[in-house]
Structure 1
Amino acid sequence: MPLNAEAVRACYPALRDGAAYLDGAAGTQVPDAVIEAIAAAYRTGIGNVGGPFAASHRSDAIVAGCRAAVADLVGGTADGVVLGPNTTTLVYRFAQALSATWRPGDEIVVSRLDHDANVRPWVQAAARTGTLVRWAEVDPVTGELPTGQYDTLLTDRTRLVAVTAASNILGTRPDVPAITAKAHAAGALTFVDGVHATPHGPVDVTALGADFYATSAYKWSGPHIGAVAADPALLDTLRPDKLASSSDAVPERFETGTAAFADLAGVTAAVDHLAALDDTAAPTGSRRERLLASMGAVETYEKELFRTLLQGLEELPRVTLYGKPAARTATAYFRVAGHTPAEVAHHLADRRVNVWHGHNYAWELTAALGLRDTGGAVRAGLVHYNNADDVARLLAGVAELSS
């Protein structure tokens, strides 16, 4: 069944301000259920974990519930979900832990398609350990990440392959299962950045071949919490730096400091919200089953809406769209001749259409496209609460500049 967009939009109080929120690739708005879950945690009373009193028990339950919710969302296991303040912090955490075993002459493979958060931590760790960095290149015309190049990039010294499940500016969905299969055949581990991919369709970390899968709740209607899902047995082989007094159990050994417990309650609420987006899914099914149905509906809805957005931009004079990947999320990156990306974004903001401009942390990709040093481009992205009116307002605003 089609997604009921207007019913979904009614769940988001921020949308009542009348703006067209096409900035979801940088962070989504949150539904009432998430706001209430966070408020309820504070209202009810929470304490630090591991105590003998009720408020501490509530925090214990919140943490466990959050791990289970993220596991259901991505197809992992709760005891393999590491939580943190954001994905960038967690990637640095894992880069430190994984590179502890790298030696001079070892190699890693990173890609020009990725957000810098899945590039720089690995490159910097490689520099510290004498590890060689090999680069998977992007086709600047199509925006594709050709899979065949990994046949020559991988060697018996490759220790890690880091790759995105979707580009945060072009929307490109590379063939991650094929890439990870090649990596595993070479004996390497895989770290998949799912931050941009997760909001746009069903996720199965096993099918992707991801040894580590990173995601950020604030990209799928939750608070600012990051997570990495992995096999607990694999996590148990890693020894990150930690306080002597903190837990050495998995996954807690990767989590420094006290968690934002109320926000973790909000993460669970966000997953439950996503699981309910397809109101035709069997209410008696597991949350994982309902998530697969709902996120499938999200993917179908966004594709239809994005077709209108993309066609509209293509038909406007003086508009250049970047990337034409065969598989992509509903994310457009474009320029309008005669106007800087910043000017376009400000023009749209004056019309209450929210978009981003610049490199959007796609540092290597914008350089490969020849855009990084000249202001990048304008990014407009759809999520499940956008509608046809949002798209029409974007196209009308861009048409005022392109005509």
Structure 2
Amino acid sequence: MTYDVTTVRAHFPALAEGAAHFDGPGGSQVPDVVGEAVAATLCAAIANRGSVTAAERRADRIVADARQAAADLLGAQPGGIVFGRSMTQLTYDFSRTLAKTWQAGDEVVVTRLDHDANIRPWVQAAQSRGVTVRWADFDPASGELAVEAVRGLLSDRTRLVAVTAASNLLGTRPDIPAIAAAVHEADALLYVDGVHLTPHAPVDVTALGADFYGCSPYKFCGPHLGLVAAAPELLATLHPDKLAPSTNAVPERFELGTLPYELLAGTTAAIEFLANLVPGEGTRRERLLRSLTELEKHEQALLDRLDTGLAQIPGVTRYGSPSRHRTPTVLFSVAGVPSQVVYERLAARGVNAPASSFYALECSRHLGLGDAGAVRAGIAPYTTAGEVDRLLDAVREL
């Protein structure tokens, strides 16, 4: 079956308010089944995980289900799924843990294409250990990060490379498997920010070559938390700071305090929702691959429509070159109208497309946009062709 956006939209109560949401890159709207899963968990008897009472067993099952669902989504192992408050928090946790193994004179590589959550934790951890930070630049004209821009910075002192799977500002998708091959040739680790890729395309962390892959369920129709996928064997070699009585088991030793069971239940529901975007049989992993492949086609068609429309409007500048290998994200400005004003005027017309650097601070500066950034329009599973036209009409009116 093909993608039916009308059926998908029927599951999003928030859309009844009437706004056209192009703000998904900052957090998607949530389907009914996710809200129901969160509410049901909050209203059920729950306790700390265990095996004695029904409440303990329920908590334990919720965690196990969420790990399996995340593993199905990412092509990972459930025993390597670590949950946390956010991708930012988890990246800070892992940067501090990994930095324990670094020595003065070692090197880490970050890129100017990345969200600051995959830059600053590594920069600050490096500074605390006397480690050198090397910066990989992208081409500001095309928005592309070449493999050689990373490969040329690697040495026998490189300990880790942090790179995005898709720019949250431009949608650019670097060649992660090729970067991973170069990083592993240098005997270093690769930490991939998959926050902006995961909502828009099938993901296989093994095929990508990511040693660590972080993402955020609230970007793919789930609740607000983060997760990191890694091989359990790799996690077993790392020793995070933790409370003395807390378990030393993997992956639990990376999860500080009691997990938010209601949010984990919502995450499982969100992943199951994604698996059923296109009805069909098969395992959840098989259904996810089929549904996300069809979603990618749907979103790409809308992206082409948006790119074409913006190119025809005088005074509109698009950042990064249009490419079929990027997430459905467009960054643009309107000549003579400050981006914040564009944002406000679009909002007054019921079109939500905010303006900012969206925490991709280095990327915005490298594009010549400073800290203010520009207007970002992101396409989501519930976006329609009519909403794209609505955005284009609103921009023309400016």
- TM score, norm. by length of structure 1: 0.97
Pairwise CA distance, 1:51: 5.7
User: 1:94-173 maps to which residues of 2 (within 5 A)?
Assistant: 94-173=94-173
Pairwise CA distance, 1:45: 1.8
Q: Deviations over 1:33-66 (max 9, x none)?
A: 1011111112222112126211111011001100
1:291 aligns with 2:288: yes
Distance (Å, rounded) in 2 between the aligned partners of 1:286 and 1:51 = 28
Pairwise CA distance, 1:258: 1.2
Distance (Å, rounded) in 1 between the aligned partners of 2:364 and 2:126 = 23
User: 1:3-402 maps to which residues of 2 (within 5 A)?
Assistant: 3-50=3-50, 52-279=52-279, 281=280, 283=281, 285-324=282-321, 326=323, 327-373=325-371, 375-401=372-398
Give 3-state SS (helix, strand or coil) of 2:110's partner: strand
Distance 1:386 1:30, change over 3 A: same
Counterpart code for 1:258: T
Give 3-state SS (helix, strand or coil) of 1:29's partner: coil
Structure 1 gap segments, 5+ residues each: none
Distance (Å, rounded) in 1 between the aligned partners of 2:222 and 2:355 = 23
Counterpart code for 1:219: K
Counterpart code for 1:220: F
Whether the 8 Å CA contact 1:86–1:226 is kept in 2: the answer is: yes
Please report the RMSD computed on the Cα atoms of aligned residues, expressed in angstroms.
Answer: 0.9
Whether the 8 Å CA contact 2:138–2:149 is kept in 1: the answer is: no
Distance (Å, rounded) in 2 between the aligned partners of 1:158 and 1:239 = 20
Whether the 8 Å CA contact 2:307–2:322 is kept in 1: the answer is: no
Distance (Å, rounded) in 1 between the aligned partners of 2:383 and 2:128 = 44
Q: Deviations over 1:224-275 (max 9, x none)?
A: 0100000000000000000001111000000111111111100000000000
Whether the 8 Å CA contact 2:151–2:183 is kept in 1: the answer is: no
Distance (Å, rounded) in 1 between the aligned partners of 2:35 and 2:174 = 34
Instruction: Give every structure 1 segment of 4 or more consecutive aligned residues whose post-TM-superposition deviation is greater than 2 Å.
Output: none
Distance (Å, rounded) in 2 between the aligned partners of 1:6 and 1:397 = 23
Distance (Å, rounded) in 1 between the aligned partners of 2:236 and 2:254 = 10
Pairwise CA distance, 1:390: 1.2
Give 3-state SS (helix, strand or coil) of 2:152's partner: helix
Give 3-state SS (helix, strand or coil) of 2:124's partner: helix
Give 3-state SS (helix, strand or coil) of 2:114's partner: coil
Give 3-state SS (helix, strand or coil) of 2:233's partner: helix
Give 3-state SS (helix, strand or coil) of 2:218's partner: helix
Whether the 8 Å CA contact 1:143–1:325 is kept in 2: the answer is: no
Give 3-state SS (helix, strand or coil) of 2:8's partner: helix
Pairwise CA distance, 1:179: 0.4
Distance (Å, rounded) in 2 between the aligned partners of 1:365 and 1:21 = 24
Q: Share of identical aligned residues, percent?
A: 55
- TM score, norm. by length of structure 2: 0.98
Distance (Å, rounded) in 1 between the aligned partners of 2:251 and 2:293 = 29
Distance (Å, rounded) in 1 between the aligned partners of 2:56 and 2:311 = 55
Distance (Å, rounded) in 1 between the aligned partners of 2:108 and 2:360 = 19
Counterpart code for 2:120: R
Counterpart code for 1:267: T
Give 3-state SS (helix, strand or coil) of 1:126's partner: helix
Give 3-state SS (helix, strand or coil) of 1:159's partner: strand
Whether the 8 Å CA contact 1:172–1:325 is kept in 2: the answer is: no
Q: Deviations over 1:288-321 (max 9, x none)?
A: 0100000001100000011111111111000000
Counting matched residue pairs gives: 397
Whether the 8 Å CA contact 1:359–1:366 is kept in 2: the answer is: yes
Counterpart code for 2:256: T
Give 3-state SS (helix, strand or coil) of 2:199's partner: helix
Give 3-state SS (helix, strand or coil) of 1:221's partner: coil
Q: Deviations over 1:157-211 (max 9, x none)?
A: 1000110000001000000000010000000000000000000010000010000
Pairwise CA distance, 1:2: 2.5
Counterpart code for 1:398: V
Give 3-state SS (helix, strand or coil) of 1:313's partner: helix
Whether the 8 Å CA contact 1:144–1:325 is kept in 2: the answer is: no
